[in-house]
Amino acid sequence: MAKLNQIIAVEKGVKSKSFQELTEAHHAVQKVALLTGLARTYQPKDEEGEQLPPESTKVQVRSEEVLRDIAASLTKLFDVTATKDATNCVAKANVVVDDQPLLSDVPVSYLLFLEKQLTDLHTFVKKLPVLDAAESWVYNDSANCWSTEPVRTLRTKKVPRNHVKAEATEKHPAQVEVYHEDVTVGYWTTVKFSGALPAKRVAELLGRIEKVQHAVKFAREEANNTQAVDTKTGEKVFGYLFQ
């Protein structure tokens, strides 16, 4: 008795072959010349008339035979697909993570859905923004996000100063040079905030997703090892269609 994974393995080939045979049959019955035959003989008007050989063309395609061949080909496809779908209805497995069942008796179709969703979720989490490693972050409950410790910096302002290069005399005014000096006028206290995640948290989330991914794949393999429910439908269908 076949297993579900074996049925799935052959279904694609059976489907491809039956489609090809149906296409070829469709093209064959569209060619009138292949369905047409002819037989004719010639008899001269009198014995002295010219004698001509008989002519004949055989029918190469017979529609009833084509129908029988198509029915046989599609019967295989109908039966394989029916067997696969019937087995899918009973093929189930548990999703086990860390030796504990996360989900129980999960149908194989839902396991396939989970695989796709977990792949998309892994891509999403992998691209989550992470906190700048150059800063020291603590969780700020009041702001409901991460923040840095306050950092105090100076605010300066350039103030002009006079430098007397030469004192004034009776004959010459004083020589004064103007320059600017940075003078502290205040202090900035800066706190940075971020809604990103610590890299450790992102790695933890990815690890959990990957665990479930592996568990789902294992469960799918287990479900696909279910004994096939052998189902015959093609003969009944085509027995009615082409009777």
Residue 227 CA to residue 229 CA, distance in Å, equals 6
52 phi, psi to nearest 5 deg:
-120, 145
The pTM assigned to this predicted structure is 0.69
Under DSSP, the state recorded for 140 is E
* pLDDT for res 39: 94
In this prediction, residue 46 has a pLDDT band, given cuts at 50, 70 and 90, of confident
- Determine what percent of the chain is predicted with pLDDT higher than 90: 76
* pLDDT for res 162: 78
Residue 94 CA to residue 113 CA, distance in Å, equals 15
Task: Calculate mean pLDDT across residues 14-37.
Answer: 91
Write down the domain spans for the chain: 1-91+230-243, 150-190
Q: Is the model's pLDDT at 188 over the cut of 90?
A: yes
Spatial contact of 90 and 106, defined as CB atoms under 8 Å apart: no
Spatial contact of 194 and 146, defined as CB atoms under 8 Å apart: yes
189-232 pLDDT per residue, tens:
999 999 999 999 999 999 999 999 999 999 999 999 999 999 99
Spatial contact of 73 and 191, defined as CB atoms under 8 Å apart: no
Amino acid at residue number 126 = K
* pLDDT for res 52: 92
